[in-house]
């Protein structure tokens, strides 16, 4: 029986438990303690965001974005169908209507050339998703948003320390939403952050994140007591989570480089297989600097992807598929809409294979051999 190669192993820097003990000794275990502030500072310095706020998840960050934009019933939000369900859910919860459009065949990101066709008088915002830490075509998207007076939210769940023309992902839209789930490069088990790049919304975001109160102002000594001043919810992570995350963020550049080393080795190994046209490797546009978050392959249409995955699993390699398109899902049909055929989305979702990847991974050859056998 072959030892199974797992898909993901969360990386630890070695300082997480030290930080957690410090937090426990401080007797401040709820949110917004010293480690939360440290995470905010590290994020704002690394990503050039105007203001960073930790949340319990990227889902929470997206929900705060929807609340800040006062999304109401019938408002339309343009987004790719090829994304995680939270991208849509955050806006559907406020009564918004996701308008799904297709993705580009090269980067698997939103097809910017289709955005303007999807804009109506009801359109309120564009949500872009930087798939696998590779940037969307942000110059074009921001120009479209400016032309039509629309907001831009960056779902940068996979994109920490990736950039577009030298600009950090998450720092260009009105809001950037990040994930620190255990499957991400930088993680704390479950966690996220909202990056507020539009100064107009900083104070409101603070209130929404604190259950609709001005509690943060109270702790800063700006008001004599805190009150309920707006709608909101509890989006703060606890201080133990922030302590864990701080240990990761302090080593973010080192972690990213190690991920890139694993990614680059995969990319080199599959160069010859790509020449046979059995697979296609990821494409990284020259203006994009990615972060090695995912290594995927698109298998030729003549192969059945699910059979390939099953064979690879039998050979001890836990490779996996990815998103099922939202536009054709039961909830996508109920709450969203799309005006054209999403042919690239449908095609990619049936051909993509994500390969095992974590820091210290060194079994590229075994993965390659298993894939080649599964394609024969």
Biggest distance spanned by C-alpha atoms of the chain = 72
Lookup: tokens for 155: 């779902």
- Name the residue ranges covered by the structural domains of the chain: 16-251, 253-375
Q: What is the pLDDT of residues 114-162, one digit of tens each?
A: 999 999 999 999 999 999 999 999 999 999 999 999 999 999 999 999 9
Checking if the pLDDT of 335 tops 60, the result is yes
Q: In the predicted model, is pLDDT for residue 354 greater than 70?
A: yes
Look at residue 89 in the predicted model and tell me its pLDDT.
98
Count of beta carbons in the 10 Å neighbourhood of residue 319: 23
pLDDT, position 146: 98
* 154-156-160-164 Cα dihedral, nearest 10 degrees: -50
Q: Which contacts (CB < 8 Å, 24+ apart) does range 117-122 have?
A: 117/339, 117/340, 118/78, 118/339, 119/78, 119/144, 119/148, 119/150, 120/76, 122/74, 122/75, 122/76, 122/97
The CA dihedral of 134, 259, 86, 122, to the nearest 10 degrees, is: -10
More confident residue, 3 or 281: 281
Looking at the predicted structure, is the pLDDT value of residue 46 above 90? no
Per-residue model confidence (pLDDT) at position 47: 83
Band the pLDDT of 340: cuts 50, 70, 90.
confident
pLDDT of residue 339: 73
Percent of the chain with pLDDT strictly greater than 90 = 92
Domain 16-251 of CATH type 3.30.70.20: no
pLDDT above 80: residue 2: no
Euclidean distance between CA atoms 266 and 365, whole angstroms: 9
CATH class of 253-375: alpha beta
Segment 261-296, tens digit of pLDDT: 999 999 999 999 999 999 999 999 999 999 999 999
Check residue 205 and report its DSSP letter. H
**Alpha-carbon gap, residue 33 to 15, rounded angstroms:** 18
16-251 shares its CATH topology with 253-375: no
Q: Which two tokens stand for residue 181?
A: 């789930």
């Amino acid at each position: 029986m072959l030892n199974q190669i797992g898909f993901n192993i969360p990386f630890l820097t070695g300082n997480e438990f030290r930080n957690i003990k410090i937090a426990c000794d401080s007797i401040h275990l709820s949110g917004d303690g010293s480690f939360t502030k440290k995470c905010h500072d590290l994020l704002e310095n690394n990503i050039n965001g105007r203001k960073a706020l930790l949340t319990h998840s990227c889902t929470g960050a997206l929900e705060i974005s929807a609340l800040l934009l006062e999304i109401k019933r019938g408002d339309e939000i343009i987004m790719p169908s090829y994304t995680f369900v939270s991208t849509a859910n955050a806006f559907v919860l406020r009564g918004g209507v996701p308008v799904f459009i297709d993705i580009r065949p090269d980067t698997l990101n939103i097809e910017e050339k289709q955005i303007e066709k999807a804009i109506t008088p009801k359109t309120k915002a564009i949500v872009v998703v930087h798939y696998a830490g590779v940037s969307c075509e942000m110059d074009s998207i921001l120009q479209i948003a400016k032309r039509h007076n629309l907001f831009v939210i960056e779902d940068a769940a996979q994109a920490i320390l990736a950039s577009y023309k030298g600009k950090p992902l998450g720092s260009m839209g009105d809001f950037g939403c990040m994930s620190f789930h255990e499957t991400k490069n930088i993680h704390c088990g479950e966690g996220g952050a909202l990056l507020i790049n539009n100064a107009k919304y900083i104070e409101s975001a603070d209130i929404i994140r604190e259950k609709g109160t001005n509690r943060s102002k109270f702790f800063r000594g700006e008001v004599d007591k805190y009150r309920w001043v707006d709608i909101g919810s509890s989006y703060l992570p606890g201080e133990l989570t922030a302590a864990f995350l701080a240990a990761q963020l302090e080593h973010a550049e080192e972690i990213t480089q190690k991920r890139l080393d694993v990614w680059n080795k995969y990319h080199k190994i599959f160069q010859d297989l790509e020449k046979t046209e059995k697979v296609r490797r990821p494409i990284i546009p020259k203006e994009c600097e990615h972060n090695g978050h995912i290594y995927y392959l698109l298998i030729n249409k003549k192969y059945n992807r699910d059979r390939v995955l099953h064979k690879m699993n039998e050979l001890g390699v836990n490779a996996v598929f990815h998103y099922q398109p939202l536009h054709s899902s039961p909830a996508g049909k109920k709450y969203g809409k799309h005006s054209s055929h999403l042919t690239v989305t449908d095609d990619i979702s049936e051909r993509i294979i994500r390969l095992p990847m974590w820091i210290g991974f060194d079994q590229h050859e075994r993965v390659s051999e298993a894939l080649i056998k599964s394609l024969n």
